[in-house]
Copies of this chain bind each other. A is one copy, B any other.
Amino acid sequence: MKSHTVDRKIMWGDLDSLGIVFYPRFYEWMDASGHLFFEAIGLTIGDMWLRRKILFGLVETSCRYQRPGRYHDEIRITTHVDALTEKTATLKHSIADRSSGALLVDGYEKRICLDVSDPDNFRAMDIPDDIMAVLRDVMTG
């Protein structure tokens, strides 16, 4: 698996007064798709957070808006690992119209490996070898 896709439908509650998607929704969908991506490659929250006290926190996110999304449009969010460093993984997400294939938004989330064993003080850490192996594998396909 190199990329992972999630389909959804744009709902009334996602729209603003212009009848187009209110842009923070795109980030909500990217976040959700990132979680499903991690789950699909076996890096589950249950294992990572609850057992090992590791989470991927955020360094930076960004989106570029190409086309507005409208009421009940069917969209597809495609996620892949775009870059890896010792401590960070960058996920790229593209959000496209399912019928036309036209790109609505492309964005990324740069995430950093955190030791969250102390809930009041998260600390950056090197990505553990076994997790890095999975991420490298999925990045290179």
Q: From A112, which residue of chain B is reached at the shortest CB distance?
A: B65
A103, chain B: closest CB distance, angstroms: 14
> Does A39 interact with chain B (Cβ within 8 Å)?
yes
> Does A54 interact with chain B (Cβ within 8 Å)?
no
Copies of this chain in its oligomeric complex = 4
> Does A60 interact with chain B (Cβ within 8 Å)?
yes
Q: A11-B32, A17-B18, A58-B65 are in contact. List 13 more A-B contacts (CB 8 A).
A: A12-B17, A12-B31, A12-B45, A13-B22, A16-B17, A17-B71, A22-B31, A24-B25, A45-B71, A45-B72, A59-B64, A59-B65, A60-B64
Can you list 25 pairs linking A and B with CB atoms under 8 Å apart?
A: A9-B36, A12-B16, A12-B17, A12-B22, A12-B31, A12-B35, A13-B16, A13-B22, A13-B24, A13-B31, A15-B17, A16-B16, A16-B17, A17-B18, A19-B119, A23-B61, A24-B27, A35-B72, A45-B71, A45-B72, A57-B68, A58-B65, A60-B65, A62-B62, A68-B122
